Amino acid sequence: MRSQRGPKISTRKAAFISAAVVLLLSSPWAAKPANAAGTITVAITSDFVSRNPYGDSTAQMYGIWCQIYGCLGIYDVEIGALRGLLAEKWEIDPNDQKSWIITLRKGLKRHKDGRELKAEDVVHSIWRVKNDRTSRQGPTFSDIAGADVIDDYRLRINTRDVSAILPTETFDQLIITAKDLHEKHGPEKADREFGLGWGPYELRQNLIGQRMVLEKNKNWPGIKTANPDRLIFVRIPEAEAQLTALHNGEVQIASVIPPHMLERLRSKPGFGASIVPSAEGFFLGMNQKFAPWTQKAARQAVAHAINKEQIIDKIYLGQAKILHGPVGEAQFGYDPKLAPRYPYDPVRAREILKSAGLVGTEISFTTTTNRFLYDIKAAEAIAPMLEAVGFKVTLTTPEYATQFAAIQRGERPFYMHSRGNMMDPTAAITQMFETGASHRIRYANPDFDKALSISRTAVDPEKRLPLLRKALAILEEDVPGVWLWKANNIYGIDSNKVQFTPTPHNRVSGTSITVK
C-alpha cells in the first residue's frame, strides 16, 4: 500500500491548539475559565465556512443555523416523529397529492426588529436554497419543484412526485431567512450584517473558521431560564485539544471524545461522558464514473474484503455498531432479520476479482484528515484488507474541506466518508443514489429509482416501511457503496456546570442544555 498522509497531529501541535483556544476565548464575548453565569461554550469539529446559512451542509452547522434563523421542525427522538418549530401544522393538499400545505405558528417575532414570520419568508428560503449560487444544499431539496404563498401563515410546497416524506426530509435542514432583508440588502450584506431570524438564539458573531456566538432569544416560546444566556460554538478539530479545553474549563461540552480518551475524561472529578448511538453512517463510496467501479464485481470484492468487526473492536474499542446497509438499529427501515448480503470473506473477494480479471487493479483511496472519528486509522486498516484480496491501493488523506468539495463535484473515485441525519434514510439515499441526484457516486438503476419513488408516496409509515426496505434491498445487492458502521457519539460534559442529553443527530442546541 502506498500512503500519502495528511499532516499528523503531534503533542506539541495539540498543546498549541489548546493555547490558541485560550486566546480565542479571551474576547468580551467569550466564556471565562470560571464560566460567567449563563455562558456555555461548546467545542465542535465542523468549520465555519460561510456567513450564508445555505453555504454548508454538515449536521452540526444545520443545527446551529436552525436555532438562529429557525427551521420548520425537528425530528424528536423521544416521540419518534417530527415536532414543529416554526411550523404548526403540515399536511398533504387534499386537492393535489404532489403538494404539501404548511401552516406557520403565529406571533413569531424576528430578532431585534420584531417583524413577524410570514409564509413569504419560507417560500423565499426554498427559492434561495435551490438557486443561490453559493448554496451547497440544493441536492437535499431536489424533491421540491417550487413553492407559493397561500396567505400570511400558509404556503404550498410542490414536489416533483408524490412525496409522503417531504417534512422528514427537509424540515430540520430548511433554514428560514428573511425575504425583505434579502431584497433590501442583497444576499451578501444581508448574511453578513443582518443575520436576523426567528429561532431561540440570536447570532451575535460569526468568526469564519473559528467560532460563532449566540445569545438567547428570551421571547422564544418555551425558552427556559435555565437554558444558556449565551452559547459559544468554537472550532477545535482535534480531540486531544477538546479534552484539554474541557478539563481546563475553557469549554463545558466537548462534542468529540474518542473511546480511547474515556478513561482520561473521567479521571478528573466532575467530568463525565454522555454517549448516544449515532444516526451518522460511515461508508465507502465508489463513483461509477471511474473504473473499476463500473463493474459490480469490483464493488462486491470490496464489500467482502473488509473485516468491520475487527476494526470496530480494535480501533473503535467497541464504541460503534456494524452496518450491513444504509440503516442500523433505531433507524427507519432497519430489518433485524436481514442477514448481511456481503459478509466478511476475503477468499470469496479474491475469487470475484480473479473471475473478473481485476486482480492487480490500482485504486486511489481517499479519506479525510481527522475530521471523523478515527478516519485515518480506519482507512489505514481498510487499505491492506483490500490489498490482501488483490487490489493495489494508494491512500491519500486530504483535509476535510478539500475532500468534501471534491466528493460533491464527483471527482473522488473511491473514498471513505460519512452521512449524517439518517434517522430516516430516504433523503440520504435519494441524494446519494437516485439517478442524476448528485455527482457523488453516479449510480443509476431504474429498478432502485422506481422502488424509492413508490416508497415516497406512502403517507402511512407502516405501509411505507416494506416499500422502503425493497429499495434498500436493491442497494444492498447492487452495492454502489459499502456501509461500514455507526460510531457512537461521545460527548464530554462538565457536569458541575451543565446538564446535556445528546441525540443521535450530532447537533447541540441551547434549548437542550441546562445551566447548573
Residue 123 confidence (pLDDT) above 80 = yes
Nearest of 211, 192, 3, 221 to residue 108 by alpha carbon: 221
Query: Is 80 exceeded by the pLDDT of residue 18?
Result: no
Q: Based on the number of CB atoms within 10 Å of its own CB, is 362 exposed (0-12), middle (13-18) or buried (19 or more)?
A: exposed
Could you tell me if residue 386 is inside a domain?
yes
SS3 (DSSP) at 373: coil
pLDDT of residue 2: 55
If you write DSSP's letter for every residue of 134-173 in order, what string do you get?
T-S-GGGGTTEEEEEEEETTEEEEEESS--TTHHHHHTTT
> What pLDDT was estimated at residue 33?
42
- Kindly state the average pLDDT of the residues 397-417: 95
Whether 467 shows a pLDDT value over 50: the answer reads yes
Quick one: pLDDT at residue 26?
45
Alpha-carbon span 509 to 498, nearest angstrom: 13
Domain count, the chain: 3
> How many other C-beta atoms are found inside a 10 Å radius of the C-beta of residue 358?
19
pLDDT in tens, 412-464: 999 999 997 788 898 889 889 999 989 999 999 999 999 998 998 887 888 98
Q: Going by C-beta distance under 8 Å and a sequence separation of 6 or more, which residues neighbour residue 309?
A: 322, 344
Q: Is the same domain home to 72 and 156?
A: yes
In the 8-state DSSP scheme, what is residue 109? Answer: B
- Within this chain, do residues 236 and 302 fall inside the same structural domain, yes or no? no
Question: Grid coordinates representing 238?
Answer: 482535534
Check pLDDT > 60 for residue 21: no
Identify the pLDDT of residue 3: 55
Q: Which of 110, 108, 118 is nearest to 195 (CA)?
A: 110
Provide the CATH number for the domain around residue 177: 3.90.76.10
**81 within 8 A of 75, measured Cβ to Cβ:** yes
Q: What is the mean pLDDT of residues 73-95?
A: 88
Of the candidates 106, 64, 67, the residue with the CA atom closest to the CA atom of residue 89 = 106
pLDDT tens string 209-230 = 899 999 999 989 989 999 999 9
User: What local confidence, expressed as pLDDT, does residue 422 receive?
Assistant: 82
Q: What is the mean pLDDT of residues 317-321?
A: 95
Handedness of CA 62, 440, 486, 79 (dihedral sign): positive
Cα gap 229→39, rounded to integer Å: 6
pLDDT digits (tens, 9 = 90+) for 278-314: 888 999 999 999 999 999 999 999 999 999 999 999 9
Q: Taking the alpha carbons of 287, 290, 295, 297 in that order, is the dihedral positive or negative?
A: negative
Question: Does 204 reside within a domain?
Answer: no
Percent of the chain with pLDDT over 70: 93
Task: Give the CATH number of the domain where residue 294 resides.
Answer: 3.10.105.10
The reply to whether 290 and 269 lie within a common domain is no
Q: Is residue 19 part of a domain?
A: yes
**DSSP-derived pairing of the beta strands 362-366 and 392-396:** parallel
Cis before 466 (ω within 30): no
Q: In what order do the strands lie in the sheet with 154-159?
A: 87-92, 99-104, 154-159, 144-151
pLDDT digits (tens, 9 = 90+) for 8-17: 444 444 444 4
Q: Residue 153: its pLDDT value, please?
A: 98
Domain of residue 26, CATH code: 3.40.190.10
- Give the residue, 138 or 390, on which the prediction is more confident: 390
Q: Rounded mean pLDDT of 108-114?
A: 96
Residues 167 and 233 in one domain: no
pLDDT of residue 8: 44
Query: What mean pLDDT value characterizes the chain?
Result: 90
Q: What would the mean pLDDT of 392-412 be, rounded to a whole number?
A: 95
Same-domain pairing of 105 and 181 = yes
Residue 56 lies in a domain: yes
* pLDDT the model gives residue 4: 52
Element (H, E) at 16: helix 11-24
Q: What's the one-letter identity of residue 114?
A: G
Alpha carbon 453 to its chain centroid, in Å, reads 23
Q: pLDDT-based confidence at 509, cuts 50/70/90?
A: very high
Give 3-state DSSP helix, strand, coil % of the chain, rounded to 5: 30, 25, 45
**Looking at the predicted structure, is the pLDDT value of residue 342 above 90?**
yes
Q: What local confidence, expressed as pLDDT, does residue 503 receive?
A: 83
Q: Residue 312, CB half-sphere, CA atoms under 13 Å: how many?
A: 16
162, pLDDT greater than 50:
yes
Shared domain for 94 and 132, answered yes or no, is yes
| CA-wise closest residue to 284 among 360, 356, 391, 141 | 391
Question: Based on the domain organization, do 92 and 156 belong to the same domain?
Answer: yes
- Three-state helix/strand/coil letters over 37-54: CCEEEEEECCCCCCCCCC
- Identify the three-state secondary structure at position 305: helix
Do 269 and 478 touch, CB atoms closer than 8 A? no
Residue 246's pLDDT is 98
pLDDT of residue 247: 97
Question: In which band, very low, low, confident or very high, does the pLDDT at 262 lie, cut at 50, 70 and 90?
Answer: very high
Residue range(s) defining the domain that contains residue 465 = 278-487
Percent of the chain whose pLDDT exceeds 90: 72
Would you say residue 330 has pLDDT above 90?
A: no
Lookup: cell for 456:
415516497
Q: What is the pTM of this model?
A: 0.78
Half-sphere exposure at residue 133, Cβ-oriented, CA atoms within 13 angstroms: 2
The stretch 479-485 carries a mean pLDDT of: 97
On the question of pLDDT at 512 being above 50, the answer is yes
Average pLDDT of the residues in 84-91: 96
| 465 and 366 share one domain | yes
Q: Is residue 69 part of a domain?
A: yes
Tell me: do 258 and 282 sit in the same domain: no
